[in-house]
Amino acid sequence: MYNSQSRQKQKNNGQDTKLSSWITPFWIAYVSLLGFLILLFILISLGWIGYMPSFTELENPSANLATEVISEDGELLGTYYLENRSNCKYSDLSQPLKDALIATEDSRFYKHSGVDGRALLRVAGGVLTFHHKGGGSTITQQLAKNLFPRGQKMNKVKLVFIKFKEWVVATKLERKYSKDEILAMYFNTVDFGNQAVGIKSAARTYFDKSPAEINTEEAALLVGMLKAPSKYSPRRHYQAAIGRRNVVLGQMKKYGYLTEAQFDSIKELPIDMTNFKSQAHYAGKATYFREYLRQVLKEWCANNPKKDGSHYDLYCDGLKIYTTIDSRMQQHAEEAVKEHVCDYLQPMFFQHFKGVKNAPFVNLSAEQTNRILWNAAKLSERYDRAKDAGLSDEQIKAQFNKKVPMTVFSYKGMKDTVMTPFDSIRYYKSFLQCGLMCVEAKSGHVKAYVGGTNYEYFQFDHVKLSKRQVGSTFKPYVYTVAMQSGEFDPCTMVPNVPVTIDVPGGSWTPRNSGAHREGEMMPLREALAFSLNQVSAYLMKRYGPEAVISLVRNMGMTSEIPAVPAICLGACELTLYEQVGAINCFPNQGVYVEPIFITRICDKDGNVIYNKLPKTNEAIDQVTAFKTVRLMQGVVDYGTGGRLRSQYKLDFPVAGKTGTTDNQSDGWFVGYTPLLTCGVWVGCEDRSAHFRSTALGQGARTAMPVFGLFMKKVYSDPNLPYYAIVNSPTKSSQTGYYFTIPSAYTGDESGCNESTSTTPHNKLDFD
C-alpha cells in the first residue's frame, strides 16, 4: 500500500512539474502577445505604421460634399457633385431611420466605446464552431472605414492591420463625438446607389422626402440597401428589396422597436417608388436654370478665393446656393410650357407640315437645307464616331443617307423607328422651343426660368443665351421715347397712314399687317393695342433710332442694336433676359432693377460668403412709365392680347405686348401685373423652320397663351402670396392689385379707353 501511494505521489509530482514547466512559458507568451498588441496599437495610433488621421482630420473629415441649389421657398432644386452627398444633423433624422440602423447594424451601439468586445467574441466563436452569427464591426468602425477608405487588393496580413487601424480610429471618434453625432455622420457617408450618397440625397432620390419625413417601411428599405445597394435596389430587384426590407423590419421587432402587430402589418406593404426622382443633371425642376447657374458659379469660384488663397470647388465643397427661384412658380411655368407648346402646338406643327416637301424648312433651296443638315450632323456623336473610325466626310454623308433602326424622342415617350440620320436631324429641327422668365417687379428676383422644352434632348438655353429678333415687343420703347418728350400721351391722336423714311440707298415704307382703321386718326393707346407698324414708323421718323437705343441702354439692354429705323418694328436681336429686365421698368415706376438669380452663398458650415443685391437705376420718370403701362394695358383690354381676358380669364390688372417676326420665325409676349413681369418666346431652333401662316405662327398664338396659363396658375395658387391679393373681398385696397399711379400723372383718358374696333380678340392678326 505504501508503495502504491508513493508511486501515485511521484506521478502527481511529475504532472505538477510538467504543468509548472508550461505555466511560465504560457504567461511569458501571453504577456509578450499582450505587450506586442499594446505596442502595435500605440504605433498605429501614432501613425508609425501607415497613415493615421490626426485629431484635426477627425474634427473635419474630408468628404466630397455636393453643392446644393436651394429655391427661395426652401426646396432643393438640384446639386452639383462628384459624389451626390449632402450632410444632415442628427435632429434631421426620423426616429425610424435611427431605430432601423441600430437594430440592423449595431444593437449595442449605445453600450460600447467604438469596439464591441462581446461582438468580437461572438465572431471568434463563430469562426471556431463554423457557425457564423453576424459581423463584429460597430457603426463607429464602419464610419471609420467610410471616412478613411481602405486601399485596393489587400492581402490578409495587411487587412488585419487595416482592421486594427479602424479600431483605433473608431475609439478616437467615440472620444471626439457624441453617439448621436456619430450616427448622423454614418448616415452622411454611406452610398445608397442611384448616385445618392448620404441619407439626405437618398431620401430625396427614392421618396422625394427629407430624412425627417422617412417612415418605418422606407427606413427599413434604405437601411437594408446598405448591405448591397445594387443588389437590393427597389428599381432593379424589387423582390430582393422587399425581402431585405423585411429582414430589417424583423431586426427592429427583435430589439423592441416594433411590436408583433406592427411588423406583421408593415411587412405586407409594397414599396412605393412613385416619387423616385433621378438625380441626373437633366432631371427635376429648373434644369436650364441649374445649368446656366453652374456656369455662373464656376466663374465665381475661380474669382473668389478662400481666406487661405485656395479656390472653392463647386463639386466638392458643399456650398449652399440660395436662389430667387420659387419652386412652386417654377412648376407652374414648366407646366404652362408643356401644356401649350409640347401638348398643343407641337402636334399642330407636325400636322401643319404633313406631306409638305422640305419640312420643316420654308423657302429654302436644296443647297441651303443640306448645309443646315450637314452642320448639325457634324455636331453629333454619330459623326464623331465615324471620324474616329477614319471615314472621310463623303463617306460619312453616305452613311447619314442610309436608313437605320433608331430610337427618337417624343413628348409621349421614346419611339422606335427606321429613318436616315439626316431625316432624324430634320425631325429634331421640327421641335418648337420655348423660353420663359418671370421676375418680381420690385426686387428683380427671378421667380421662374424655363430655357426650353426638354433639357435632356434640347440643351440650348433660350432665356440667357439665345438672341432672337423681338418683333413688335420693341414698339413700347419707341412709344415711351415719344411720351418722355412731353409731346405725346396715351390719348394723343396720331395718323394711321404709310410713312416713308429715308435710309442709305433708298427709302423705307413699312405697312400694317392688317387693315385696322387704315388712313384714320386714332389715340396712341389704340395704335399700340393693335400693333400698327405705320404709327411706329411715324414716331421713329420723328425721334430717330439713337433716342430709342439710348433709352433701352438705361433699361438694361446690352446686346448690339443697329441704329436703323427698322428697330421700331423689332429688327434687332435680344435675349429674353434683356427683354424682361427692360419691360419690368414700366410696372416698377421707371426704375430698372437688374434681374438676379442668387441672393447669397454659404459654405458647408453655414457661413455667408457672398451676398447679391441687384443693380438699379432710374431709366425713365414715373409719369412716363405709367403712361406706357396705360398703353400696354390697352393691348390686353381690347388689342392683340385680348384673349388673356376672354380665354384665360385674367380678371386682374395686366399689361403686355405681343410680337411676331418676319415669316413667323419668332413669337413673343412680354407682359406684367403690378407685382410680376414675365416674358415668353416660342420658335424653332432654326429661323428657317416655322409656321407658314401668321394665323398660326404669330406671338398671340404661340407665346401669349403660355403667359396666360402661367399667370392663371400663379394667381390661382393659394400657397403663393398673389392669390390673397386677387381673391380678397377688398382687393381694390390691396397693395399690388392696381398699378401705382404717380401723383404727378394728370392724364385725361376719357374718349380713348375703348377701341372702336369690333374685331373679336381671337381673330386678331396684327403682329
- Give the per-residue SS3 of 43-88: HHHHCCCCCCCCHHHHHCCCCCECEEEECCCCCEEEEECCCCECCC
Q: How far apart are CA 322 and CA 327, in angstroms?
A: 12
Calculate mean pLDDT across residues 141-168: 63
Considering 227, 257, 278, which residue would you say is the last residue of a domain? Answer: 278
pLDDT tens per residue across span 725-746: 998 888 877 888 999 999 888 8
Q: Quickly state the pLDDT bin for 185 (edges 50, 70, 90).
A: confident
Is 625 among the domain residues?
yes
Domain of 187, CATH number, reads: 1.10.3810.10
Considering 240, 260, 278, which residue would you say is the last residue of a domain? Answer: 278
Is 36 among the domain residues?
no
Calculate mean pLDDT across residues 626-634: 96
Predicted confidence at residue 483, as pLDDT, reads 95
Tell how strand 676-684 and strand 667-672 pair up: antiparallel
- pLDDT over 70 (residue 355): yes
- pLDDT over 70 (residue 150): no
pLDDT tens per residue across span 19-69: 566 676 656 665 556 555 555 555 555 554 555 555 555 555 556 788 999
Q: How far apart are CA 193 and CA 231, in angstroms?
A: 10
Single out the residue of 564, 441, 466, 431 nearest to residue 510, CA to CA: 564
Predicted confidence at residue 338, as pLDDT, reads 97
The domain tally of the chain equals: 2
pLDDT tens per residue across span 548-603: 999 999 999 999 999 999 999 999 999 999 999 999 999 999 999 999 999 999 99
Whether the CA torsion 742, 748, 754, 756 is positive or negative: it is negative
Calculate mean pLDDT across residues 153-175: 64
Q: Is 589 left (phi over 0), alpha (psi -120 to 50) or beta?
A: left
Q: How far apart are CA 623 and CA 465, in angstroms?
A: 33
Calculate mean pLDDT across residues 313-338: 96
> Which residue, chain included where needed, has cell 448690339?
560
Considering 261, 278, 295, which residue would you say is the last residue of a domain? Answer: 278
Is 567 among the domain residues?
yes
pLDDT tens per residue across span 644-658: 999 999 999 999 999
Q: Quickly state the pLDDT bin for 758 (edges 50, 70, 90).
A: very low
Average model confidence (pLDDT) across the chain = 87
Predicted confidence at residue 731, as pLDDT, reads 82
CA 506 to chain centre: 50
Single out the residue of 577, 698, 566, 560 nearest to residue 641, CA to CA: 698
b/e for 685-712, b at 16 or more Cβ within 10 A?
A: bbbbbbbbebebbbbbbbbbbbbbbbbb
* Element spanning 532, H or E: none
Is 409 among the domain residues?
no
The contacts found for 384-392 with CB under 8 angstroms, 24 or more apart, are none
User: How close are the terminal C-alpha atoms of the chain, in Å?
Assistant: 134
Single out the residue of 469, 472, 488 nearest to residue 480, CA to CA: 488
Predicted confidence at residue 176, as pLDDT, reads 81
- pLDDT over 60 (residue 684): yes
Is 342 among the domain residues?
no
Q: How far apart are CA 535 and CA 516, in angstroms?
A: 12
DSSP 739: P
Q: How far apart are CA 225 and CA 273, in angstroms?
A: 15
Contact (CB, 8 A) for 631 and 476? yes
b/e for 337-358, b at 16 or more Cβ within 10 A?
A: bbbbbbeebbeebbebbeeeee
* Beta bridge partners of residue 406, listed in sequence order: 417
Contact (CB, 8 A) for 141 and 135? no
Q: How far apart are CA 332 and CA 319, in angstroms?
A: 27
Whether the CA torsion 361, 362, 367, 368 is positive or negative: it is negative
Predicted confidence at residue 151, as pLDDT, reads 53
Predicted confidence at residue 107, as pLDDT, reads 85
Domain of 739, CATH number, reads: 3.40.710.10
Q: How far apart are CA 354 and CA 632, in angstroms?
A: 38
> Which residue, chain included where needed, has cell 413688335?
472
- Phi–psi pair at 276, nearest 5 degrees: -60, 130
Q: pTM, whole model, 2 decimals?
A: 0.81
Which domain does 487 fall in, by range? 432-763
Predicted confidence at residue 81, as pLDDT, reads 83
Task: Return the C-alpha cell found at 611.
Answer: 451676398
- Phi–psi pair at 312, nearest 5 degrees: -65, 145
Q: How far apart are CA 570 and CA 635, in angstroms?
A: 17
Q: What are the CA-CA distances from residue 227 to residues 104, 120, 168, 248 (Å)? A: 10, 20, 24, 11
Q: How far apart are CA 372 and CA 361, in angstroms?
A: 10
* 3 state DSSP class of 662: helix
Single out the residue of 400, 399, 468, 406 nearest to residue 432, CA to CA: 468
CB atoms within 10 A of CB 301: 19
- pLDDT over 60 (residue 487): yes
Predicted confidence at residue 95, as pLDDT, reads 95
Predicted confidence at residue 21, as pLDDT, reads 65
Q: How far apart are CA 758 and CA 246, in angstroms?
A: 71
Q: Quickly state the pLDDT bin for 761 (edges 50, 70, 90).
A: very low
∠ CA 525-527-533, nearest 5°, is 145
Percent of the chain with pLDDT over 70: 84
Percent of the chain with pLDDT over 90: 66
Largest CA distance in the chain: 152
Single out the residue of 224, 143, 221 nearest to residue 181, CA to CA: 143
pLDDT tens per residue across span 187-241: 988 888 888 888 998 998 899 899 999 999 999 999 999 989 989 999 889 999 9
- Phi–psi pair at 500, nearest 5 degrees: -105, 130
Predicted confidence at residue 635, as pLDDT, reads 96
Calculate mean pLDDT across residues 247-269: 94
